[in-house]
Amino acid sequence: QQQVKQSPQSLIVQKGGISIINCAYENTAFDYFPWYQQFPGKGPALLIAIRPDVSEKKEGRFTISFNKSAKQFSLHIMDSQPGDSATYFCAASMLLRTGGFKTIFGAGTRLFVKA
């Protein structure tokens, strides 16, 4: 019930194309859904996040679509660039009664954008 399932494992996209990564969760206690980008040798960096009362959020070339009834959310990267080549993690977070957030990460998607 704590799992976050992410697909695909890897993705190759042409420069200028759309990259789409999908995630699904089970526990309805999760109330914050961030996406992280990680380059080799670096820590994850927050890309964009959404709360379940919103169905879509757009920031620049990055859009999250959220389907609360299906317990699914996805990341769309428009006009994908070679610099977007990285590992992307979806995550689901819940506020702890004792403070802070418990965050479960998806397995990750390795994106390669061909020039």
The contact set with another protein (CB under 8 A) reads 32, 34, 36, 41-46, 49, 89, 93, 95-96, 98-108
Least CB distance from residue 16 to another protein, whole Å?
A: 28
Residue corresponding to tokens 């699914």: 72
Least CB distance from residue 107 to another protein, whole Å?
A: 6
Type and span of the H or E element at 86: strand 86-95
Q: CB-wise, 105 or 112, nearer to another protein?
A: 105
Residue 114 near residue 12, CB atoms below 8 Å: yes
Cα separation, 88 vs 39, whole angstroms: 9
Q: CB-wise, 99 or 115, nearer to another protein?
A: 99
Least CB distance from residue 109 to another protein, whole Å?
A: 11
Nearest to 103, CA basis, from 21, 31, 9: 31
Least CB distance from residue 64 to another protein, whole Å?
A: 14
Q: CB-wise, 20 or 101, nearer to another protein?
A: 101
Cα separation, 88 vs 86, whole angstroms: 6
